[in-house]
Amino acid sequence: MVLIIAEKPSLARNIIAGLGEKMDKKDGYYIGQNYIVSWAFGHLFSLADIEHYSPTESGRWTLDNLPCFPKEFKFELRKADNKKAVDSGVKKQFGIISYLVNRDDVDTIVNAGDADREGEIIVRLCVNNALKSEKAQKRLWLPDQTPETVAKAITEMKDESEYDNLAGEGFARTYIDWLYGVNLTRYATIKTGKLLRVGRVIAPIVRAIYDRDMEIRNFTPEKYFVISSSEETKGEKIELTSKQKLAKDEILKAADTAKLYNDTGAVVTDVTSKKDKILPGKLFSLSTLQNVLGEKYKMSMTDSLKIIQKLYEEGYLTYPRTNSEYLATAEKDKMRSIIGNISKLGYPVRFKDSKLIFDDSKIEAHSALTPTYKIPSKEKLSDDENKVYSTVFRRFVAVFCAEECVAQKSEIKIKVGELEEFSLKGTVILEKGWTKYDDYTKKDKILPNLSVGDRVNIDFKPAEKQTTPPKHYTITTLNNYLKNPFKDDKARAKELEESGEVDDAEDYRAIFEGLELGTEATRSGIIDNAKKSGYIALKKDVYTILPGGEHFIESLSRLSISMDKYKTSELGKALKKVYRGEMTVDESVKLAECEIAEVFKKDGGTPPAVAGVDTGKYGEIIGTCPACGKNVVRGKFSYGCMGFEDGCKFRVGVNICHRDIPISEVRRLLTDGSTGVITSFISKNGKYFKARLVLKDGNAVFDFTNV
């Protein structure tokens, strides 16, 4: 008898549909003549908390048992929301799995977790904790959940041991994330007095949004000059703008340059026009699909992932958590079959054997997202489900469309002597081809009717421009940044994509090396946690930092917790080495422990000063209250009087007008009645200012005299 353990009940039902065997339903499993199918509920096990390794008398968080580096990580059955007892449903289902794996008639156990590192360890943990004697173990790897795919995959199962490296990466990731999350969350929370959820990936994500918003907030626009001309030639207006930028104090130079251009004159030196194909976009990875859904429908990453996952579980889409936009060469016959189904619906599709579609070198574990053999009727899906499914379906049709998109591409080059060459480009769609089925927003642009040798009328004049601040992160730009945080943040050139010349090797190299922040599988959840924690906000498709996020990042800086993209990527690279068998799980964990230990080595009781700003630690006594004489202590957000229960309201903000107030200046304020001059305050309108804080009627106020 073969026991198949699925990651969740929905997958178990889909596996049963593909087995082609009549099965009886029991409590927590199905049984037939040759197979038993049971399931987990996602994670039945979680890592034990610090108190399992180092218990405390009070049971409260303390620095006494930090940092905690377990010699051996222990897993426990998942506890209920109150964290006090094991979840009753989890306990019951694990009991059923334990009974099934140890049945005498079960000789083979099949891991049918989702086809990724997380699914791999979910079922492994169940089997490892339940199995009492050795039995054959296999892996069922499903790129989608249709009955056809299940039936085929059952005949191609490999030994579970062939996925040991994948499991190793999964366990290493779990241990490292626990080490960072548990140690640094407790440390930062105890030090600041406010719950700060510190994580290996959440910190650099929030920092990216924080840094961008600080750039915008502190941005000061600067004027500059360009020279431009907008004159008619042969009855058509021709606009030319020089690439030269001149500083705001170079208006005279701009005027002289404009005169020089006008005196020199402009001549058409080249005119080209050719028919060319415009290629469709690539198939979707999870993040590129989420980008499109975010831009077009303002759909958050969390919402889109839920829908994509549901469509996968219902057998309509292939495995969603993929980082590739390419298909495997071994899938060509499968694609021919899907294309055949789609053609029956009247779509003009044909199989194309192209390196732009099939490329094994750009696939790590899973191919691009595509429709499956199973095509739903529109009535079966909700409005949002239709939006998601049709986006994937239409892109697939576009990629395999039998009708080419043909355009007339033109270019006119105009030279102003040897001073500068201008290029005018135009495109006119001649045959719509795939653009009838997938989005293509580029409008026709017809160039003026000019010939080589024609003189172009020009009248260059200085035009005043102003620099603009960077834009807030959107779903698309943040996703692109997280996929490769070290890449220059520029959109891919559309022309290259249309001509099939896009070089995305850098992006895939970053993914395979582990440079990305988070993974396709985890990114949406981590960003959602950052939103729930009050660190960032998402409005339509734009991310912004919240006051809680500012406090989070600035607190990490004061505590010398440097969870930036560099540290996170180094650990990401280590995890990929585990996957490739180049590093052991223990070696990768040791890297994380060394980084965490550095934070605690720097801790001398008071958080170290960063950029000259030391705001002390939570609960530290600062001095005597000028209003009532009781102690002033460092609180969560302010240096406040302990006499608040008696009505004393004296307090000084830890951060005033976006400026951290050093503990030394607050002590000086309490003893001398005034701080020294403090710089870099930021007003409501974004202007920097400096001032002293002085005591007035028992309160701290700004003093601008003699600053």
Strands in 7-124 per DSSP E: 24-26, 29-31, 35-39, 45-47, 75-77, 108-112
Confidence of residue 463 (pLDDT cuts 50, 70, 90): very high
Strands 35-39 and 2-6: parallel
pLDDT digits (tens, 9 = 90+) for 429-459: 999 999 999 998 888 899 999 999 999 999 9
In this structure, is the dihedral angle defined by the CA atoms of residues 468, 472, 478 and 481, taken in order, positive or negative? positive
Q: Residues 149-154: what's their mean pLDDT?
A: 95
Number of residues that make up the chain: 707
Cis before 470 (ω within 30): no
Which residues neighbour 559 within 8 Å (Cβ) at sequence distance 6 or greater?
187, 188, 191, 192, 599, 607, 608
Sheet containing 699-703: give its strands across: 678-682, 688-696, 699-703
Which residues neighbour 126 within 8 Å (Cβ) at sequence distance 6 or greater?
5, 40, 44, 45, 94, 97
pLDDT digits (tens, 9 = 90+) for 370-381: 999 999 998 999
Confidence of residue 615 (pLDDT cuts 50, 70, 90): confident
Measured between alpha carbons, how far is 602 from 595 in angstroms, rounded to an integer?
12
Residue of 108, 160, 110 lying closest to 134 (CA atoms) = 108
Which pair of structure tokens corresponds to residue 288?
């590129």
The pLDDT assigned to 607 comes to 38
Identify the helix (H) or strand (E) that includes residue 555.
Answer: helix 547-558
Contact 285, 271 (CB under 8 A): no
Q: Which long-range contacts (CB under 8 A, 24 or more apart) does 94-97 make?
A: 94/44, 94/126, 94/129, 94/130, 96/27, 96/28, 96/29, 96/38, 97/5, 97/28, 97/38, 97/40, 97/44, 97/126, 97/127, 97/130
Confidence of residue 503 (pLDDT cuts 50, 70, 90): low
* DSSP string of 314-374, one letter each residue: TTSB--S----SSB-GGGHHHHHHHHHHHHTTT--B-----TTTB-GGG-SS---B-B-S-
Confidence of residue 589 (pLDDT cuts 50, 70, 90): very high
* DSSP string of 219-243, one letter each residue: ----EEEEEEEEEEETTEEEEEE-S
Whether 52 shows a pLDDT value over 60: the answer reads yes
pLDDT digits (tens, 9 = 90+) for 273-312: 999 999 999 999 999 999 999 999 999 999 999 999 999 9
The pLDDT assigned to 490 comes to 47
Identify the helix (H) or strand (E) that includes residue 538.
Answer: strand 536-539
Whether 642 shows a pLDDT value over 50: the answer reads yes
pLDDT digits (tens, 9 = 90+) for 168-184: 999 999 999 999 999 99
* 3-class DSSP string for 658-689: CEECCHHHHHHHHHHCECCCEEEEECCCCCEE
pLDDT digits (tens, 9 = 90+) for 402-426: 999 999 999 999 999 999 999 999 9
Whether 492 shows a pLDDT value over 60: the answer reads no
Measured between alpha carbons, how far is 555 from 198 in angstroms, rounded to an integer?
11
pLDDT digits (tens, 9 = 90+) for 251-278: 999 999 999 999 999 999 999 999 999 9
The pLDDT assigned to 566 comes to 82
Residue of 640, 636, 606, 607 lying closest to 623 (CA atoms) = 640
The pLDDT assigned to 433 comes to 95
